[in-house]
Amino acid sequence: MKPAQFDYFRPSSVEETLELLTDYGNEGKILAGGQSFIPILNMRMSEPECLIDINHLQELDYIKQEEGYLKIGALTRQSDLEKSELAANTVPILREASRFIGHSQTRNRGTVGGSLVHADPSAELPLTLLTLGAKVIISSADEEREAALDEFFLTYLTTDMMPDELLTAIHIPIDSIPKGYAFEEFSRRHGDFALVAAASMLDVDENGNVLGGTIAAGGIDAVPLLAEEEDFNVLIGQKLTEQRIKEVVQKMVEKAEPDSDLHASAEYRENLAEVLIKKSLHKAYQRATESGE
């Protein structure tokens, strides 16, 4: 099947892009890497009046450290993020998670911002960036605003962005990133979207007691699911034991609402989430304790 007819624009600046989004509203769609959007067009699940190709906006393609943040331009390719030494040295979980994204061809075209805007709840980058407490910078012709990812994702494939807005950057606070980290996922075949994924971040003291961190899981709810602070606090000031892990994992999974589909039942996803969250916590704890030795 071929896409429906549309007008095509290739703006040369963010300002021109925002003007087009203002003019076309819901009928204008952004084309970045196209790894998710092109199949949607071809299947005519979306029939926009125009496509706005932003691939020439080099001002949105960067990875830099600035003002206590790792700042990533929305048009940065996933493969560039995977290969970035700056990202690996400041936020190593990003490289670990990026290697699970599709195939190398997918990562060569797919963009960091595009993955967030597509908002697939089982995708690697939304889950990992949520775990890191990242914020997105969103621009319109009238203003620029900042949004935390736990408020950015609304439901399946839906964010709080308006039709005239463009995601321009991702900011990750790096001054207090936990030393222990791990990303785990399970998919039916290499390169497929994960059935379930999990990410953990942990800091420990010299005695191995947990000082803080975060846990998140994907594929078990309409959005990536972040452990609530009151649930995570079961681990604070304690060594990581099987009983404490079980308690945190059960609380997370109880709040999830997974769907059954042709790939897996809801029950299977819940069981898989328990396994992967536990695995990510163990690995993050091991890395945290080793870093303090």
Q: Return the CATH number at 197.
A: 3.30.390.50
* Among 207, 209, 206, 204, CA closest to 180: 204
Q: Give yes or no: residues 166 and 243 share one domain.
A: no
Q: Name the stretches of the chain with pLDDT < 50.
A: none
Q: How far apart are CA 123 and CA 276, in angstroms?
A: 15
Q: How many CA atoms lie within 13 A of 207 on its CB side?
A: 6
Pairing of strands 50-53, 7-9: parallel
Residue 98 resides in a domain:
yes
Question: Do residues 88 and 117 both lie within one domain?
Answer: yes
88 in a structural domain = yes
User: If DSSP codes are grouped into helix, strand and coil, which group holds residue 4?
Assistant: coil
Amino acid 293: pLDDT: 62
Domain total in the chain: 3
The reported pTM is 0.95
Strand bridging mode 69-73 / 166-173: antiparallel
72: domain CATH number is 3.30.465.10
Residue with tokens 């990303």: 183
Are 155 and 203 in a shared domain? no
pLDDT at res. 254: 93
Residues 88 and 124 in one domain: yes
**Domain containing 22: what range?**
7-53
Mark whether 74 and 43 lie in a shared domain. Answer: no
**Tokens, residue 253:** 């999974």
